[in-house]
Amino acid sequence: MSRIASCNHRSWEWALPAMQEEQRSMRESLRVQRRLWRVLLLIAGLACCVAVPAISHAKYIKAVTYFGNAWPLNYWNSDVSRAPADFSQIKSDGFNAIILAVPWGEFQPGLSPVRFNDNAYARLKQVCSQAKQAGLQVHMRVSYQHDMYPGVELPAPARFDLLLAGDDLIPAWEQYLSRIAEVSGDCASGVFISWEDFWHATASMAAPMEPAAAVELSRRMGFDAWAKGHADAAYRARHAAVFNKFGAYPVPARSSSDFRMVYKWFDDRLMQHLMPVLARKLPRASIEARVDDDPIYEGGKIVEWYSHAQTYQVPSSPYLMTYWAPAMGAQNKSDRESAKKVIERFSYINKKISERTKNRIVIGQFLFQDNTPSASRNTVVNPSELSDFLRMVAVPMVSQTAGYALWGARDYEASVLFNGFFSLSNLGWKMNDGAWIVDKPTRMAELPSGASVAQFIPAARDHFRDTAKVMTLRLEAVGPGELVASYGGATQRVRVGSVAEKLSMRFPVSQVDTEFMVKAGRGKLRIGGLYLSDYTQAGDFRDVSGNPGPRFDDIRGLNKAIDDGVGVPSRLDVSDKTISKASGVFPPERGDMNWYAWAGPEVTARLLARASTISVRGSIRPSMFHTAQGCTLKALVDDKEVLSRLYTADMPIELDIPVPATQVDTVVDLTLRSSCASNPKQQKSGTDERTLSYVLTSISSSASGAVSAQGGQSVQGKTR
């Protein structure tokens, strides 16, 4: 469960003034983009096929959050044996990555003393390795809040509140992260935490309370300790009387403009308290930032919007994870908007995010449609224009972001059953009157006559009980015998033959804790693959059985458009900072006379090759590396080396790299690799913490000329 679209999206008015200024140019841009789309589709149809290069961080990420035929709350106790077949299908659908949600509670049920779920870690290693073998990148959302694992010490949200509040749980959390690093080190491409898994803290602090309770909560959440050193003087002055009385600063009222301090505290705890730990334990650590702005009230009116931009800068990863839905920046009055209007807002929002981060944006939850009940009033793309939207969004996606992910590779049922496939034997089940688990041909529960299996279902496990009307049981059974199922005070009976069959039964939705039971009334039964659900999340890409859904062709078309290079530039330059779109290039800097960007030791840039050469301009200083052999710079086009140049003296880089004739007017990946690299801080020659190799000023696919290392102005980058 992590459908961001159900959150409190900022209203239409926040974006309207600035958007109006950009509407005219954006509309013209869209017209150009549509023409580019048609041209590139023609090129894609005429161009020769090229080999698919190995997975690279420079490749546009096209991902699905993967949870098999379960959902995130119970995937790790479901049937994971189907992963290789799923990954093959995911790859054939045009995706190149998956995201795995790794619940903290299920993987580390015990905190004091620490107790690990070794089976979960083994499954993570297996699934991660299988995804890599299938040619998919693996990104992990760690500290996912939701799970159903029995016996979790301090379950969510209390566990997450305590981690955010102070240092007590940091040692246990570090061990959880270290174990993830151990099992995923050979297969994972990146990791991130999400603001969403910790947001409960701000919700609890927003509840109305008396001063004494506000002080007690402030102490428990660590807000008081933070406020003493970080809250502004005006806040401390306004709450001096409470501080003098109770010895601590209170959580401010949600109706007060001082509540902005709570958001500042929240952002600071994520970035200064948790992210450094995550980055120490796992490589390429990022965060899914809250990119919705939150209203600040005073006197019953909105006086400002608070931006969580502090969380947009992530030094430990090239990526910033975000989310997007048509509801963002919209009116959200159960209205429908045209594809064109939603595209304009999509572009505007991502532009504003990019202006506040040096990281490349990956939309980790691309929620182009959402049937979550809590999102029922959200603005949506006009259903008749969804295909147009998914066709048109490719251009701003590629030009403004580095990747996207669907929430799920298929529709899923939100089953409230733990271990519904008996994959973990009888864990979570009561086995009554001789019931037991058999392994062949598949793992199932065997029920002699009169035997039963039962599971306690807390009402809180059913996230959709307030709006659902019917609870549906699906399972596979083989007899012969009579199957008796009960839930929520109702009982259903059905005859089962000697040939395996799929059964479906309906029950009333329970609003209280209840027990679910399946019993063999007469005869002997085997049962497996149990789902008990009152809600199906519909993404419409593939249905729950994996069959193509209404948006199947649209999503595959989006992936193909991205691969075909819709919106891919032919030139990257320091002057407009587009050089930063290349992997391995640091943000442009202003020198005494010129702009430049440090890079290396490896740079990868995706370009639309418009000519037979790719021009690379910059400079290299072998003298800074103190090597007698000089520095070798190699150029590869789609992972094939096409040029190598040795530099023995400080001089300009003026390379015109050949592009194979069959790849002109197609998308290519240019890679530059240097044999020289220096980290001034590590080598105690300066304070610069970056690993530096050479300076770049432009990469262009329209330049021509012979390979040269003479002439021109050398732009010398400065180190710190």
DSSP letters, 431-474, are EETT-EEE-SSS-EEEE-TT-EEEEEE-GGG-TTTTT--EEEEE
Question: Beta-carbon neighbour count of residue 51 at 10 Å?
Answer: 8
User: Any idea which residue has 């939207």 for tokens?
Assistant: 389
Beta-carbon neighbour count of residue 54 at 10 Å? 10
The predicted structure's pLDDT at residue 708: 33
φ, ψ of residue 455 to 5 degrees: the values are -140, 135
Predicted pLDDT at 53: 27
Where is 507: in which H helix or E strand?
Answer: strand 501-508
- Collect all residues with Cβ–Cβ distance below 8 Å to 561 and sequence separation of at least 6: 37, 40, 41, 391, 394
| Dihedral sign of CA atoms 158, 164, 169, 174 in order | positive
Give Cα 242 to chain centroid, integer Å.
41
Phi, psi (degrees; rounded to nearest 5) at 97: -160, 160
d(CA 382, CA 692): 49
Average pLDDT estimate for 659-679: 88
Token pair in block for residue 450: 């009169």
> In which band, very low, low, confident or very high, does the pLDDT at 2 lie, cut at 50, 70 and 90?
low
Amino acid letter, residue 126: Q
CA distances from 663 to 47, 560, 564, 695 (A): 8, 17, 12, 27
Q: What is the mean pLDDT of the chain?
A: 89
Q: How far apart are CA 37 and CA 486, in angstroms?
A: 56
Please indicate, yes or no, whether the overall pTM of this predicted structure exceeds 0.75: yes
Find out whether 292 and 10 touch, Cβ atoms under 8 Å. yes
Q: Is the CA virtual torsion 323, 465, 537, 189 positive or negative?
A: positive
Query: Is pLDDT above 50 for 29?
Result: no
pLDDT at residue 714 greater than cutoff 50: no
For residue 193, give the H/E element and its range: strand 190-194
Q: Is 47 left (phi over 0), alpha (psi -120 to 50) or beta?
A: beta
Which stretch of 40-54, 62-76, 603-617, 645-659 has the lowest confidence by average pLDDT? 40-54
pLDDT at 484 over 50: yes
Checking if the pLDDT of 577 tops 60, the result is yes
Strands 481-487 and 536-537: unpaired
Structure tokens at 198: 């910790």
Choice between 594 and 459, residue whose per-residue pLDDT is larger: 459
Which whole number is the average pLDDT over 448-468?
A: 96
- SS3 assignment for 213-242: HHHHHHHHHCHHHHHHHHCCHHHHHHCHHH
- State how far the Cα of 572 lies from the Cα of 696, in Å rounded to an integer: 10
Q: Give the chain's end-to-end CA distance (angstroms, integer).
A: 46
Give the separation between CA 69 and CA 83, rounded to whole angstroms: 9
How far apart, in Å, are the Cα atoms of 557 and each of 55, 62, 389, 446, 564? 21, 12, 12, 46, 10
Cα torsion through 349, 350, 356, 357, rounded to 10: 160
pLDDT of residue 57: 32
- Show the 3-state SS of 103-125: EHHHHCCEECCEECCHHHHHHHH
pLDDT in tens, 415-425: 999 999 999 99
CA atoms lying within 13 Å on the CB side of residue 5 = 25
Out of 12-21, 294-303, 414-423, 649-658, least confident range = 12-21
Q: Strand 583-585 vs strand 301-306: parallel, antiparallel, or unpaired? A: unpaired
Return d(Cα 325, Cα 319) in angstroms, integer: 19
What are the tens digits of pLDDT across the range 44-66? 332 222 232 222 334 789 999 99
Rounded CA-CA distance 389/353 in Å is 21
Task: Check residue 358 and give its pLDDT.
Answer: 80
pLDDT tens digits, one per residue of 108-157: 999 999 999 999 999 999 999 999 999 999 999 999 999 999 999 999 99
| pLDDT at position 640 over 50 | yes
Cα 189 from Cα 601, distance rounded (Å): 19
| Identity of residue 273 | H
Helix (H), strand (E), coil (C) string for 29-80: HHHHHHHHHHHHHHHHHHCCCCCCCCCCCCCCEEEEECCCCCCCCCHHHCCC
Gap between the Cα atoms of 383 and 99, Å rounded: 27
Q: Which residues contact 681 (CB under 8 A, 6 or more apart)?
A: 687, 688, 689
pLDDT tens digits, 53-107: 222 334 789 999 999 999 999 999 999 999 999 999 999 999 999 999 999 999 9
Domains and CATH numbers, the chain: 4-21+62-208+253-413 (3.20.20), 430-534 (2.60.120.260), 571-700 (2.60.120.260)
CA atoms lying within 13 Å on the CB side of residue 393 = 31
Q: CA dist 369 to 69, 99, 256, 293, Å? A: 20, 19, 34, 21
Q: What is the mean pLDDT of residues 411-434?
A: 97
